[in-house]
Structure 1
Amino acid sequence: MRPSSVPPFSELIGDCQRSAVHLEMRDTYEGYDDGGRFAEWKRAGGITPAFAEDFRPWMETVREAVGRGVEMRRARVVSEPVTDYIRFEHEASHLNQEAGEQVRWLPRRDAATLLLPGADLWIFDDRLIRFGHFTGNGALDCNEMCDDPAVIKKFSEAFEAVWQRATPHERFTV
């Protein structure tokens, strides 16, 4: 694993040919909330047009990747009852979907018999993993890369197990 040589996400997704999957394991990313989007959501009581505008660069990244044939899937493992941060993510997930990203949700109790990683991750084309290490309050500590085929195989299988059990976004209620 290489914590010191992590390319920017734009480069990783730009090199992607077939699939990019994201496994989220935390109940809050409040410490990572760049731009205060979560705080704004709480103040406004919902997703605002300003939030949607701030989210546009991500949507363009997804659209570009999906447009060249990359399947993008995001699975979130969440505790129930969900945290306010998860409510915020759930409400905003329609923007991910509008851009072409598939989103599913798995209650943590339904993941109890699965072997899961100890960190969030992105897997690119089943050839490269970017682990995201977060602090207790959800701030990003660092990213770490892994290209070990055995590790990639193990966590690709873990993602697929989550994906099979998870509920599609439009049917998951918080």
Structure 2
Amino acid sequence: MESISEGEFQELLRTGFKREAAHLETREAYGTAIELPYMAKWLNGEPDDLAWLDDWCATLREHVAAGRSVKRARIVSEPLCDYQRWSHAIAQPMVDAGEDIRWVPRHALGSALVTANDFYLLDDAIAVFLTYTGDGMSVDRLVSTDPDDLRRCRAAFDAVWPLTVPHGVYQPV
């Protein structure tokens, strides 16, 4: 696997697939430098116009217009932690822009096997594994084109997806 920069990763999300980006999230909380100030505002009950999501939403609209799909499955424990409650509260603009965000309670996974790391699977041709510190800060982005990695990612995503609940239906517990 090869480590890539945040900029290279963002470019892959913009131009690195022709059909589908499948994203599996497995952590309870994240601590990205971009998100933390906005989550803090939310925790304090302060308003947020979500303008910081505009670039990602524009990218999503471009993908949808070109016939590409972007799917995200979030595995969560219930009751939701603050991070996941906040994630649910801010997801609608991304859904409106075309990202198919779905939620699966961890207890519903049963015997489904998933990977330990979050990943993006782009057209079943590139896997980007996202690694984090214990407190949710991003550490690295590791790219693989190894057929075994791609097959395992597809199997994990396909095992989780039928168990998911669409964002507009999922009621946070």
TM-score (ref. length: structure 2): 0.92
1:58 matches 2:56: yes
Q: Which residue of 2 aligns with 1:41?
A: 42
The SS at the match of 2:112 is coil
Amino acid at match of 2:10: F
Structure with greater helix percent? 1
For residues 88 and 144 of structure 2, what CA distance do their matches in structure 1 show?
29
Q: Which residue of 2 aligns with 1:93?
A: 91
Give the Å deviation of 1:5: 7.0
Q: Which residue of 2 aligns with 1:69?
A: 67
Instruction: Figure out how many residues of one structure are paired with residues of the other and give that number.
Output: 170
Q: Which residue of 1 aligns with 2:130?
A: 132
> Structure 2 regions of 5+ residues with no counterpart?
none
TM-score (ref. length: structure 1): 0.91
Q: Which residue of 2 aligns with 1:150?
A: 148
Amino acid at match of 1:81: P
Query: Do the aligned residues in 1 keep the contact of 2:109 with 2:160 (CA within 8 Å)?
Result: yes
Q: CA RMSD in A?
A: 1.6
1:169 matches 2:170: no
For residues 136 and 100 of structure 1, what CA distance do their matches in structure 2 show?
31
> Structure 1 regions of 5+ residues with no counterpart?
none
Q: Which residue of 2 aligns with 1:21?
A: 22
**1:173/1:3 CA distance change after superposition, 3 Å:** same
Query: Do the aligned residues in 1 keep the contact of 2:4 with 2:140 (CA within 8 Å)?
Result: no
For residues 84 and 4 of structure 2, what CA distance do their matches in structure 1 show?
30
